[in-house]
């Protein structure tokens, strides 16, 4: 059994200019990424009959929502048979999994999936009001956190990290090795935001944000958009690239959608998503050639490493000590592009993009040396997460 | 904007009113299922354990233990000068029910998992925020 009977494949990818405060709108960036993805696939906009995005037109400040599906439809005059966006989904790739299901069931043939952010520019122009007090009262998901000064995901995730460290002895130095690995890879990625090498002293000496998380445990807001084309398998022949199969996907949520009520505080929704993913494939963690794992905060990556079965629960500290294992030339390279901590917060889609880049061997200086056929992608964490296994064919 | 103290106060809803105002009577009011007697937080209109709709606020003990914590070092709000401690406090009434809260009247460096704490209300305008402090004997 494979995800949607193997009827959905990835045929093209595209990314806009990426940077800090580049002064472009989120729509502009989304359109650029979309053009590149359509061209990369060898399609035209007349072929695109579906659009999917995260999170859609939700009320958000600070450049979090760069463009909606309607923005992109309108700009390119798309005639679509199917479109979707939403924030109540499984990690940032939830609607992309829906797109795969839509093409598998015949509702669309080529779906343009995208995520656009312009947080760096928006925040520089003073639009990051969410934390600084434009809201009259904390409501919705913030009601039970903001009144206690728990303003940032760094606070919510810091508590998870603290409990895990307490239970299993994971150290800041061990997490730092993962962060430094990402920075080393980012040095080979011309599109990364931070490319200078980082030492353990740099990491440990950076100011604390919310202990145990310091500055370099938190990703970097940027401007940029990513687009992915999901196509029906029969429609993928004769295009530019050999299709990438979505071998398996996981989108499960086994507990309440909260940051503090999970029965076991040393796990996250990543574990639910990964468990359900492995149930749908004959592949095992040992078959994975490399992984791109969400690092909106460094600790989230440690959760994906465990959740996806690359080490036993409770043992991620020992895993991280074996740095050679997850370097670019290692047995399981992690985040060849540098992750969001160094390459910029493209908010989930960047990890999927990088998995495709590597599988198509378009990584340039950062291309993984060994032949890679199977990629694991883990996106999100905390109360919601989604993951997938991609398989290169041919 | 936050109130005069600089606190970001909560939007009180029908479900959360008792939680946010019980402190004016020195009561920590947490949703509870009248069918299976399980506690529920944040408040929601049914019991996730047994699916009963017969749920509503009851008075909890107001004591608990630190399940996890973080020391915040970044200035987010004027009323919360860093460093300050945010904790997930598990209720003695039912340890798998937790409140995200502020630890007060404590040494930031002395906080640890399992530390016994008790509620203390920070009254601001129309709400009483349930903060927690170490139990001193
Ligand atoms: Zn019940």
Tokens of A276: 């359900």
State which H helix or E strand residue B118 sits in. strand B116-124
Task: Say if A1 falls within a structural domain.
Answer: no
**Hey, is A219 helix, strand or coil?**
coil
Taking residues B43-66, report their average pLDDT.
Answer: 98
Q: Does residue B4 have a pLDDT over 60?
A: yes
Q: Which of A205, A235, A265 is the last residue of a domain?
A: A235
Taking residues B89-111, report their average pLDDT.
Answer: 97
Quick check: pTM over 0.90?
A: yes
Q: Please tell me which residue of chain A has the smallest CA distance to B109.
A: A211
Structure confidence at residue B5 (pLDDT):
73
Q: B2 to chain A: which residues are within 8 Å by CB?
A: 133
Contact assignment for B98 to A260 by CB distance below 8 Å: yes
Of A134, A149, A207, which has the smallest distance from its Cβ to B80's Cβ?
Answer: A149
- Read off the pLDDT band of B71 (50, 70, 90): very high
Task: Report in angstroms the alpha-carbon separations of A1 from A248, A278, A367, B120.
Answer: 9, 11, 30, 55
Query: Cα separation of B29 and B60, whole Å?
Result: 6
Rg of chain B on CA atoms, in Å: 15
In a shared domain, residues A267 and A348: yes
A200: how many CB neighbours lie within 10 A of its CB? 13
Residue B86's nearest CA partner among A94, A147, A199 is A147
Task: Say if A341 falls within a structural domain.
Answer: yes
Structure confidence at residue A134 (pLDDT):
55
For residue A87, the enclosing domain spans: 8-125+222-235
The CATH number given to whatever domain includes residue A261 is: 3.40.47.10
Q: Please tell me which residue of chain A has the smallest CA distance to B91.
A: A261
In a shared domain, residues A282 and A369: yes
Of B1, B69, B77, which has the smallest distance from its Cβ to A149's Cβ?
Answer: B77
Number of domains comprising chain A? 2
For B136, residues 6+ apart whose C-beta sits below 8 A from its C-beta are none
How many residue pairs from chains A and B have C-beta atoms closer than 8 A? 127
Q: Please tell me which residue of chain B has the smallest CA distance to A144.
A: B100
In a shared domain, residues A42 and A19: yes
In a shared domain, residues A203 and A227: no
Rounded to the nearest angstrom, the minimum Cα separation between A260 and chain B is 7
Which B-chain residues 47-76 have CB contacts (< 8 A) with chain A? Answer: 48, 67-74, 76
Task: Say if A208 falls within a structural domain.
Answer: yes
Structure confidence at residue A126 (pLDDT):
67
Structure confidence at residue B1 (pLDDT):
42
Residue A302's nearest CA partner among A152, A150, A182 is A182
A384-392: strand order across its sheet? A82-85, A50-53, A110-118, A223-232, A8-15, A244-250, A384-392, A374-381, A290-293
In a shared domain, residues A105 and A211: no
Task: Say if A275 falls within a structural domain.
Answer: yes
Q: How far is the CA of B94 from the centre of ligand 1 (A)?
A: 13
Of A137, A146, A265, which has the smallest distance from its Cβ to B68's Cβ?
Answer: A265
In a shared domain, residues A228 and A250: no
Show me where the domains of chain B are located. 16-134
In a shared domain, residues A169 and A21: no
Query: Cα separation of A307 and A302, whole Å?
Result: 9
User: Which residue is listed with tokens 């295009």?
Assistant: A239
Q: Please tell me which residue of chain A has the smallest CA distance to B89.
A: A260
Helices (H), ranges, chain A? 26-41, 69-76, 94-104, 119-124, 153-168, 172-186, 200-205, 269-278, 298-307, 316-321, 323-326, 339-343, 349-359
Contact assignment for B67 to A265 by CB distance below 8 Å: yes
Taking residues B46-69, report their average pLDDT.
Answer: 98
Tokens of A228: 């992915």
Q: How far is the CA of B41 from the centre of ligand 1 (A)?
A: 13
Q: pLDDT tens digits, chain A, 394 residues: what are they?
A: 789 999 999 999 999 999 999 999 999 999 999 999 999 999 999 999 999 999 999 988 899 999 999 999 999 999 999 999 999 999 999 999 999 999 999 999 999 999 999 999 999 886 545 454 456 899 988 999 999 999 999 999 999 999 999 999 999 999 999 999 999 999 999 999 999 999 999 999 999 999 999 999 999 999 999 999 999 999 999 999 999 999 999 999 999 999 999 999 999 999 999 999 999 999 999 999 999 999 999 999 999 999 999 999 999 999 999 999 999 999 999 999 999 999 999 999 999 999 999 999 999 999 999 999 999 999 999 999 999 999 999 8
Tokens of A72: 């992109």
Of B9, B68, B127, which has the smallest distance from its Cβ to A162's Cβ?
Answer: B68
In a shared domain, residues A267 and A386: yes
A285: how many CB neighbours lie within 10 A of its CB? 16
Structure confidence at residue A136 (pLDDT):
81
**What digits encode the pLDDT tens for the residues B79-96?**
899 999 999 999 999 999
The class (CATH top level) of B16-134 is mainly beta
Contact assignment for A166 to B10 by CB distance below 8 Å: no
Rounded to the nearest angstrom, the minimum Cα separation between B116 and chain A is 16
Strands A82-85 and A50-53: parallel
Task: Report in angstroms the alpha-carbon separations of A2 from A41, A73, A231, A279, A372.
Answer: 23, 31, 16, 10, 20
Q: B13 to chain A: which residues are within 8 Å by CB?
A: 139, 143
The 8-class DSSP code of residue B47 comes to -
Rounded to the nearest angstrom, the minimum Cα separation between B136 and chain A is 22
Q: Are A386 and A379 in contact (CB under 8 A)?
A: yes
Beta bridge partners of B129: B122
Rounded to the nearest angstrom, the minimum Cα separation between B95 and chain A is 10
Task: Say if A96 falls within a structural domain.
Answer: yes
User: Which residue is listed with tokens 């409770």?
Assistant: A314
């Amino acid at each position: 059994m494979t995800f949607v009977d193997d009827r959905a494949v990835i045929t093209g990818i595209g990314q806009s200019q990426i940077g800090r405060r580049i002064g472009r709108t989120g729509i502009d960036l989304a359109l650029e990424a979309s053009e590149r993805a359509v061209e990369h696939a060898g399609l035209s906009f007349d072929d695109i009959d579906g659009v999917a995005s995260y999170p859609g037109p939700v009320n958000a400040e600070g450049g979090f929502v760069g463009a909606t599906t309607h923005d992109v439809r309108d700009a390119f005059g798309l005639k679509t048979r199917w479109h979707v966006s939403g924030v109540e989904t499984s990690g940032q790739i939830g609607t992309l999994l829906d797109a795969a299901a839509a093409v598998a069931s015949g509702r669309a043939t080529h779906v343009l999936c995208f995520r656009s952010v312009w947080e760096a520019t928006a925040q520089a122009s003073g639009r990051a009001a969410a934390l600084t007090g434009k809201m009259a009262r904390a409501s919705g998901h913030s009601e039970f956190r903001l009144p206690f000064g728990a303003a940032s995901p760094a606070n919510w995730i810091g508590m998870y990290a603290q409990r895990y460290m307490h239970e299993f002895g994971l150290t800041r130095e061990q997490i730092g090795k993962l962060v430094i690995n990402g920075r080393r890879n980012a040095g080979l990625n011309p599109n990364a935001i931070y490319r200078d090498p980082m030492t353990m002293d740099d990491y440990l000496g950076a100011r604390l944000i919310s202990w145990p998380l310091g500055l370099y445990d938190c990703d970097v807001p940027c401007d940029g958009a990513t687009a992915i084309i999901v196509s029906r398998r029969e429609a993928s022949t004769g295009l530019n690239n050999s299709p990438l199969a979505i071998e398996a996907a996981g989108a499960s949520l086994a507990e309440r959608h909260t940051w503090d009520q999970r029965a076991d505080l040393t796990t996250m929704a990543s574990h639910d998503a990964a468990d359900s993913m492995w149930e749908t494939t004959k592949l095992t963690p040992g078959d994975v050639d490399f992984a791109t794992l969400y690092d909106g905060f460094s600790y989230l990556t440690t959760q994906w490493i465990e959740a996806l079965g690359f080490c036993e629960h409770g043992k991620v500290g020992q895993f991280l000590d074996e740095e050679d294992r997850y370097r670019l030339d290692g047995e399981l390279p992690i985040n060849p592009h540098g992750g969001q901590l160094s390459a910029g917060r493209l908010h989930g889609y960047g990890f999927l993009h990088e998995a495709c880049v590597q599988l198509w061997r378009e990584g340039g200086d950062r291309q993984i040396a060994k032949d890679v056929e199977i990629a694991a992608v883990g996106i999100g964490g905390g109360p919601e997460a989604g993951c997938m296994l991609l398989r290169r064919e041919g | 904007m936050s109130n005069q103290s600089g606190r970001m106060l909560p939007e009180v809803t029908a479900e959360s009113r008792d939680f946010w105002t019980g402190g004016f009577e020195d009561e920590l009011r947490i949703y509870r299922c009248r069918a299976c007697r399980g506690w529920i937080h944040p408040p929601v209109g049914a019991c996730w354990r047994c699916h009963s709709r017969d749920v509503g606020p009851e008075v909890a003990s107001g004591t608990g233990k630190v399940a996890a914590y973080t020391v915040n070092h970044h200035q987010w709000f004027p009323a919360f000068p860093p460093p300050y401690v945010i904790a997930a406090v598990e209720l003695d009434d039912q340890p798998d029910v937790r409140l995200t809260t502020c630890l007060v009247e404590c040494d930031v460096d002395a906080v640890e998992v399992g530390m016994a704490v008790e509620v203390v209300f920070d009254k601001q305008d129309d709400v009483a925020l349930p903060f927690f402090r170490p139990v001193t004997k």
